[in-house]
């Protein structure tokens, strides 16, 4: 059994997961916001640029905040998480990237304000979510885990 802590951000009223985001040739540190209303994990535009992810494989149209965005799929994405026993847990998951329709500054800044979203596709990998916001005891648990370093 592996356990990974998440944290409640009282200012933003969101549940966050610190992670290392990795593609074959680069890695960065960032946070995900848990979004059980999203079927997909979404990487924000600026983190995709920092990682050098190409925006070539069109995905579905995604609605966020009343706006419609074209998504781009990237399949060679790894999320590295630190378990409570200090082991590193690696999950390979396809992500969606929202790209602005044009490269006007206001559209890019708007997308930069979107956090990275950890969607239901992550939970479907066999994670159980336990959440007690009042005591800030929030964590994922997973049995039979094989991607541990």
Tell me how far apart the alpha carbons of residues 116 and 34 are, in angstroms, rounded to a whole number: 9
pTM value is 0.88
- Cα of 98 vs its chain's centroid, Å: 13
For the chain, what are the domain ranges? 2-142
pLDDT at 48: 93
pLDDT at 20: 97
CATH H-level, domain 2-142: superfamily:
Acid Proteases (2.40.70.10)
Number of H helices, E strands in the chain: 3, 12
Asked if residue 104 has pLDDT above 70, the reply is no
- Under the banding of pLDDT at 50, 70 and 90, the label for residue 119 is very high
User: For residue 97, how many other CB atoms are within 10 A of its CB?
Assistant: 26
Q: Per residue in 44-77, pLDDT tens? A: 988 999 999 998 999 998 888 777 888 999 999 9
- Under the banding of pLDDT at 50, 70 and 90, the label for residue 2 is very high
Round the average pLDDT of the chain to a whole number and report it: 89
Q: What are phi and psi of 92, to 5 degrees?
A: -100, 125
* Three-state SS at 70: strand
């Amino acid at each position: 059994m592996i356990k990974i802590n998440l944290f409640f951000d009282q200012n933003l009223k969101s549940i966050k997961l610190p992670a290392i985001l990795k593609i074959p040739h680069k890695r960065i540190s960032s946070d995900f916001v848990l979004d059980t209303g999203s079927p997909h994990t979404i990487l924000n535009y600026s983190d995709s640029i920092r990682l050098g992810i190409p925006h070539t494989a069109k995905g579905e149209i995604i609605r966020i905040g009343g706006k419609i965005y074209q998504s781009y799929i990237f399949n060679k994405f790894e999320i590295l998480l630190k378990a409570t026993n200090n082991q590193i847990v690696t999950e390979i998951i396809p992500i969606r990237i929202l790209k602005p329709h044009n490269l006007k500054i206001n559209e890019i800044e708007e997308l930069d304000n979107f956090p990275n979203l950890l969607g239901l596709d992550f939970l479907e990998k066999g994670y159980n979510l336990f959440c007690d916001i009042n005591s800030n005891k929030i964590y994922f648990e997973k049995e039979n885990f094989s991607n541990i370093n």
